[in-house]
Amino acid sequence: MDIIFRGKKTYGEFLRSEEGFATNILASRLVLLGEEGILKKRPHQEDARKDLYELTEKGLDLIPVLFEMILWSAKYGPKSEAARIHRLLELIRNDNRRISQKMIEKVRSGSAIVPELV
């Protein structure tokens, strides 16, 4: 979800995520998400040692599902991160389909949904 919400795009950025993934787990998950057609990897234009990960159309189509999971998390986990993004929760509750389309376009253009969390 860091790719969607925080705009992370490189292995190193994912590795520094709060979840604290082990390097082998992160690497295998990125490969799996690529094999499943959810992520695609391309070379970094400025640093040949890095690759950039981005969501495919299949991956972008998961955003409305993730939003429903955020609603669930905010409802049952009042201390969850989801419960702290009040404006997004309100938008999802009011019209998940419409806000999902807006956020898909935002992520497609390379932006993060909640950039202040980066």
Question: Domain ranges in the chain?
Answer: 2-117
Residue 65 scores a pLDDT above 70 = yes
Residue 103 scores a pLDDT above 90 = yes
pLDDT band at 115 (very low <50, low <70, confident <90, very high): low
pLDDT band at 116 (very low <50, low <70, confident <90, very high): low
Tell which residue, 85, 113, 118, 80, has the closest CA to residue 99: 113
Residue 94 scores a pLDDT above 50 = yes
How many helices (H) and strands (E) in the chain?
6, 2
Give percent of the chain above pLDDT 90.
69
Residue 113 scores a pLDDT above 90 = no
Tell me how far apart the alpha carbons of residues 106 and 113 are, in angstroms, rounded to a whole number. Answer: 7
pTM listed for this prediction: 0.85
Q: Which two tokens mark 75?
A: 């409802």
Residue 42 scores a pLDDT above 60 = yes
Helix axes 86-108, 63-76, angle to 10 degrees: 160
Tell me how far apart the alpha carbons of residues 59 and 75 are, in angstroms, rounded to a whole number. Answer: 25
Residue 60 CA to chain centroid, in angstroms? 9
CATH classification number, 2-117, choose in 1.10.3720.10, 3.40.190.10, 1.10.10.10, 3.40.50.1820:
1.10.10.10
